[in-house]
């Protein structure tokens, strides 16, 4: 009997159950229910079944975007994940633990204008940027990056933005700045999931300063040539393509330059499972599943996971001399 390989369009994102959610499904549902049930706001089903349109819409005119050219570090000739899959499948626990929840609820709840990002800490020029300031700070570029989730699924996303270093240079970090911390929005009115005790809100992530300054580290403002959809971290996020996806903080409202290493949200929640660095490393398994392979959304078979998600030539030097099993 011939083996039938389904086309990418035949496989719905909802068909892929992550190993983390499968193994923790009762714990996650119980935690979410504890935080929202008393108010009659159990997120996954009825409470947000018909969200009203957000009061403020994204801009209708998005700035021009320079396309990624073959041969550039931003280009990949891999098949890009369809926009419909990118915007309907993902983790954004502020809207629930189900993969479809962000796409269902965020567009009707998240107000992306007005929006500001405060930059503070060890910098000579602290500043608060409006979203329009960020859109004009540097020319927008298409960056076709692989995204590898710690749960074992992956995408290829044509992001829009520019290197985070453009913003870093504007605020002029002092010699004391060694790390950057990203703080995300945690508004219960717009993000009902933050009413649950599932995580310690707001969601916080961090990078070493040299990681943040690396040209691949993207200040993300869009995808597929348009403004970021709400469910993908609008209006501004970070994309660090050689790290597991949870390191790329969404819907950022504050950036802090620090002397000491910050504690990321998932590291605080489970330090033995989610380290500060969280570089994609097929040689270091998650305590509850292998990281050797991944399933690309839309594909039937699993594929080998690449060290640093395939960006080793560009970023491995950042970790010269480090034990990447200890510093996972």
Distance of CA 326 to the CA centre of its chain: 24
pLDDT at 61: 73
Whether residue 125 has a cis bond before it, omega within 30° of 0: no
Do residues 150 and 278 lie in contact, with contact meaning Cβ atoms separated by under 8 Å?
yes
Instruction: Give Cα 146 to chain centroid, integer Å.
Output: 12
Tokens of 108: 């009707």
Q: Are 204 and 183 in contact (CB under 8 A)?
A: yes
Q: How far apart are the first and last CA of the chain?
A: 44
SS3 207: strand
Distance of CA 160 to the CA centre of its chain: 14
Q: Report residues of the chain scoring pLDDT below 70.
A: 1-60
Rounded-to-integer distance, Cα 238 and Cα 212, Å: 9
Q: Is 50 helix (H, G, I), strand (E, B) or coil?
A: coil
% of the chain residues with pLDDT over 90: 80
Looking at residue 248, its pLDDT comes to 98
Tokens of 248: 């790329």
Q: What is the pLDDT of residue 60?
A: 52
Any idea which residue has 């329009």 for tokens?
A: 132
Please state the length of the chain.
328
pTM to 2 decimals? 0.84
Identify the bridge partners of residue 147 per DSSP, sorted by sequence position: 155
Compute the distance between CA of residue 82 and CA of residue 85 in angstroms, rounded to an integer.
Answer: 5
Pick from 90, 98, 95: nearest CA to 25:
98
| Spatial CB neighbours of 159, under 8 Å, sequence gap ≥ 6 | 142, 143, 144, 145, 218, 220, 222, 223, 239
CB atoms within 10 A of CB 83: 16
Triad 50, 52, 57: Cα angle to 5°: 135
């Amino acid at each position: 009997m011939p083996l039938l390989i389904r086309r990418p369009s035949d496989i719905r994102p909802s068909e892929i159950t992550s190993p983390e959610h499968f193994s923790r499904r009762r714990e996650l549902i119980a935690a979410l229910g504890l935080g929202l049930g008393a108010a009659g706001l159990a997120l996954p089903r009825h409470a947000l079944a018909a969200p009203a349109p957000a009061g403020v819409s994204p801009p209708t005119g998005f700035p021009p975007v320079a396309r990624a050219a073959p041969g550039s570090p931003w280009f990949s000739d891999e098949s890009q994940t369809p926009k419909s899959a990118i915007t309907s499948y993902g983790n954004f626990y502020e809207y629930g633990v189900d993969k479809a929840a962000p796409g269902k609820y965020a567009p009707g709840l998240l107000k992306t204008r007005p929006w500001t990002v405060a930059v503070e800490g060890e910098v000579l020029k602290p500043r608060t940027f409006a979203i329009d300031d960020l859109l004009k700070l540097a020319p927008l570029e298409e960056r076709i990056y692989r995204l590898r989730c710690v749960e074992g699924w992956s995408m290829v996303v044509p992001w829009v933005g520019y290197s985070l270093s453009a913003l870093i240079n504007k605020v002029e970090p002092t010699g004391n700045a060694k790390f950057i911390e990203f703080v995300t929005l945690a508004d219960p009115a717009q993000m009902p999931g933050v009413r649950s005790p599932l995580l310690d809100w707001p969601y916080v992530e961090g990078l070493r300063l040299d990681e943040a300054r690396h040209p691949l580290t993207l200040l993300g403002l869009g995808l597929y040539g348009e403004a970021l959809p709400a469910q993908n971290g609008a209006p501004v996020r970070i994309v660090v393509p050689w790290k597991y996806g949870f390191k790329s903080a969404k819907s950022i409202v504050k950036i802090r330059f620090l002397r000491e290493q910050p504690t990321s949200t998932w590291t605080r929640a489970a330090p033995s499972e989610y380290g500060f660095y969280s570089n994609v490393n097929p040689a270091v398994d998650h305590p509850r599943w292998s990281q050797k392979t991944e399933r690309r959304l839309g594909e039937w078979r699993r594929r080998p996971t690449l060290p640093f998600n395939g960006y080793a030539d560009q970023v491995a030097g950042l970790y010269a001399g480090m034990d990447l099993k200890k510093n996972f």
